[in-house]
Structure 1
Amino acid sequence: MTGEVPGGDGISGRRALRPLGGLLAALAVSLTGTRISAVALPWFVLVTTHSATWTGLVAFCEMAPYAVVKALSGPLVDRSGPRVISWSTDLVSAAAVGAVPLLHALDLLSLPLLLPLVALIGAARGPGDLAKQVMVPEAAERGRVPLERATGLSGVTERLAATLGPAAGGSLVALLGPLTGLAVNAACCALGSVIIALTLPRGMGRAAGEVPLPPGELEPGYWRRFGAGCGFLRGEPLLLTLIVMVGVTNLLDAAFTTVLLPVWAEESGNGPAVIGLNSAVGGAAAVAGSLVAAAMGHRMRRRVVFFAGFLLAGAPKFLVLASPAPLWAVFLVFAAGGFGAGFLNPILAALSFERVPRRMLGRVNALGNALAWAGIPLGGLIAGAAVTSFGLVPVLLLGGAAYFLTTNLAGLRPEWREMDRLRRPGVRERHPGAGDRAAAGDLTK
């Protein structure tokens, strides 16, 4: 950590908690806007084109740049500082999202023009999301908050956004149209940028180049930083296995959210409001799960909780939509899945922050997250083509089976035992230069 931790009493205690509070507020605002857009944009394309294939293509054009730019932006976040990257990319996102309803109002928006705009939105979101994520451990230290509690609070924030965003998005789309939802998303991105700029101290999330290097080391360039991140991941079997498993489940989740759920809502006659309501029910339950994780996560066995969470959050939601179940049963399945999902991100974040040296968080998390998100652009694309070719129900059944097998077969690998071995944050940095030697495979165990 850079700088001193303020005192824990009175005004100084409140100042100590201000960075974590500001970061969580910015996360809440920007993620809520993104969730609103996740309902509004696919619905806009679906009702405009009446094509699941076009809906999947638009999702691909947003998420492919997201994954690629996020993977390449890690060294930049480490070098320039996550605070600057966060507020600046949020402004770019706001401008790109706001351009969609503006151009439509001027009768200048076409699908060929929408695709590059959506690609710009994804490209700006990637570094912005990464920058906020890597500031969590420093914000926790400044506020003297245990890491697992801070990641749990971050998980609660994400789940609140997953509750409020889809509910608001579904209501806005149903009452005022999908372009209103996109305008609200643009406002949320702008507000998130302002919160980061005003509430986080300038010394927080500063560039890695401003942190004193160990004696005898030179400041590495971009590609050396990038290579160090790759080398570190190669030496971490647990993180690699997690990334691969989450990458497959993310692909399936993207297929479900961007294509399967909207098509189900249209074919069943339930409409966009039910999309938001389903997601809100799951999000509310996920908030409860994240609160339990924040309060008690450090006392739980991570491996058991992790796989139980995936068992609830994965296959059942596919299977219930494939069945003729009534809406109350659908809501019940989404609620159970949301509660299980609430435990997942805090565990994943804590593992990453514990095992990755602080000065490498940007590049390692960028690579890991980008690899885990690499399947997301393909999820909507594959689902759109599959639904067009085979129909909705067979694709839902296949998706549920794939989700179940992925999450359970991955748990048979031996490195999962390391998940329950609690380690202090930064333990890998006890020898000078351990982080940058990772490119050569010289890791501090």
Structure 2
Amino acid sequence: MTGRSWRELAGVLSAQAVSWTGTRLSAIALPWFVLTTTGSATRTGVVVFAEMGPYVLAQLLSGPVIDRVGPARISITGDLVSMVAVAMVPLLYAIDLLTFWVLLPLVAAVGVFRGPADASKTVFIPAATRAARVPLERGTGIASTIERLASTVGPALAGVVVAALGGPYALVVTAALFGSGALIVAVTASRRSAPHQPDETEAEDSYVSRLRGGVRFLRRDRLLRSIAGMVAVTNLLDAAWTAVLLPVWARDSGHGPAVVGLLLGVLSGCAVVSGLVAAAVAHRLPRRPVYLIGFLLGGFPRFLPLALGMPIEVTILVYAVCGLGSGFINPIIGAIQFERVPEGMYGRVRTLVVAVAWSGIPFGGLAGGLLVTGIGLAPALLACGAVYLVTTTLPALLPSMRPEWSTKDKPAPVRVE
């Protein structure tokens, strides 16, 4: 196996690590910078929306552009523009030229370019794993582990840098991470990451036609559609659990925020360990049983010890098992997404799946609050756990879906007239 083959896979995984850490860091550093410089919680909320709203929307709409232009160009351009926009904030602040109305377009630019840049890095995975001659599950497994680590390390790094050096320096670190991501992709991306070459009919398609083609493909593929819907529901429940149910349990049980941090740390740490194991062995395992076992261990059980008032030692043990189970899920789901999609539609279908999966997150906190207020904490936890169990097992247990798990054949490409 040549070094060049490994270099591309190592490069895309390294680029994901630094860029995703930068994205998570900016999600903490920018609001903190605004809060400490303006003292206004309202303006802080506006800045968060100005970054994350365009981030989600741009990621949703960027699929056809990624397919046509190529993930390397989108990734490099997005990282470089984000680097400049983020770096302008502390620079303008240092020379006393930064106003709130100057900050907003800079933050919006970060969101607009980060969304496609982050999405495009996932599109590299199939070509990079083929070049390295490793199973697709290994690439998706390592990538999902890196994303999980970035979600943990990014906020922690933001807290350390802000506490030690102040808000503006945290933004300098963020800009440096974005620039590093662009440099890594520029050096390691090969011609395998070039844009898909469309046939004559595809070349004449408009942006809207190509976007509709992705929608039609996702709608007609039963397994991808069911997985996307399942993840949308579980993300909503996860958001309700993180934002409302877990904090309310910690308050009512007298454990406090330290135990919340401990449980989240145990869950994430065990998921990282099992994710690395899954990256090594998942390609040898039957997908449907692994998917079911992963969710049966890593999904609904996390709600039970909180609802039943179990001792904290038992709760920690349950969360460790949940983390070990959940690490096997994303490598399987990620591999299925890429295998069932034609190469020329990776960007469109991938961004649509992510958009569907994220659609429930904004409503999670609201749903959790309404449930706790309406029926109480313990019933709310049990209800969420029951919905989690049903939602995660249906795609694998329904008789009509079993044939979908037994084949790796790609469905026929969908054309839009």
Structure 1 length-normalised TM = 0.76
1:266/1:306 CA distance change after superposition, 3 Å: same
Per-residue deviation, residues 234-275 of structure 1 (Å, max 9, x unmatched)? 22011111111101212233444566667888997966x877
* Aligned with residue 253 of structure 1, among 216, 238, 242: 238
Measured at CA, do residues 23 and 265 of structure 1 come closer, stay the same or move farther in structure 2, by a change above 3 Å? farther
Partner of 1:137: 126
Q: Structure 2: which 5+ residue stretches go unaligned? A: none
Matches within 5 A, 1:135-284: 135-169=124-158, 171-172=160-161, 181=170, 183-201=172-190, 203-208=191-196, 211=197, 213=199, 218-257=203-242, 278-284=263-269
Q: CA, structure 1 residues 285+173, in 2 after alignment: closer, same or farther (shift >3 Å)?
A: farther
Letter in 2 for 1:74: G
Identify which of 57, 63, 71 aligns with 1:74.
63
Q: Distance in 2 between matches of 1:99 and 1:71?
A: 26
RMSD: 4.2
Greater mean alpha carbon deviation, residues 254-263 or residues 280-289: 254-263
2:282 equivalent in structure 1: 297
Is contact 1:321-1:396 (8 Å) kept?
no
TM-superposed deviation, 1:357: 0.6
Is the Cα–Cα contact under 8 Å of residues 94 and 186 in structure 1 kept in the other structure?
Answer: yes
TM-fit CA distance, 1:127: 1.0
- The answer (yes or no) to whether the contact 1:166–1:280 under 8 Å persists in 2 is no
CA–CA separation in structure 1 for the residues paired with 2:384 and 2:40: 23
Kindly indicate which of the two structures has a greater share of residues assigned to helix: 2
Aligned length: 413
Contact residue 228 and residue 438 of structure 1 kept, 8 A: yes
Matched, 1:337 2:326: no
Distance 1:348 1:179, change over 3 A: farther
Percent of aligned pairs with the same amino acid: 48
Paired residue for 1:358? 343
Range that drifts further, 255-264 or 307-316? 255-264
Distance 1:54 1:403, change over 3 A: farther
Distance in structure 2 (CA, Å) of the matches to 1:200 and 1:349? 21
Partner AA of 1:157 in structure 2: I
Residues 287, 384 of structure 1: alpha-carbon distance in 2 compared, 3 angstrom cutoff: closer
- 1:439 aligned onto 2:416: yes
Letter in 1 for 2:12: L
Query: Following TM superposition, by how much is the alpha carbon of 1:351 offset from its aligned partner in structure 2, in angstroms?
Result: 0.5
Q: Match of 1:443?
A: none
Q: Please give the alpha-carbon distance, in whole angstroms, between the structure 1 residues aligned to 2:245 and 2:167.
A: 18
In the TM superposition, what is the alpha-carbon distance from 1:334 to its structure 2 partner? 4.0
> Structure 1: which 5+ residue stretches go unaligned?
1-7, 429-433, 441-445
Structure 1 residues 100 and 217, CA, compared in 2 at 3 Å: closer, same or farther? closer
Q: Could you list the per-position Cα deviations for residues 70-99 of structure 1 after superposition, in whole angstroms to 9, with x for gaps in the alignment?
A: 221111001111101011112333344456
Q: Is the 8 A contact 2:69 2:195 kept in 1?
A: yes
Please tell me whether the aligned partners of residues 43 and 178 of structure 1 are also in contact (alpha carbons under 8 angstroms): yes
Q: What's the CA shift string for 1:305-341, capped at 9, x where partnerless?
A: 2233233333444565678777665654443332222
Change beyond 3 A, Cα 1:196–1:414: same
2:333 to 335, 344, 348: 348
What is the TM-score normalised by the length of structure 2? Answer: 0.80
Q: Secondary structure at the match of 1:439?
A: coil
Per the alignment, residue 373 of structure 1 pairs with 358
In the alignment, the residues of structure 2 paired with residue 319 and residue 37 of structure 1 have an alpha-carbon distance, to the nearest angstrom, of: 34
Shift of 1:34: 3.1
CA distance in 2, matches of 1:384, 1:107: 42
CA deviations on 1:158-177 (whole Å, 9 max, x unpaired) are 23334433543455566666
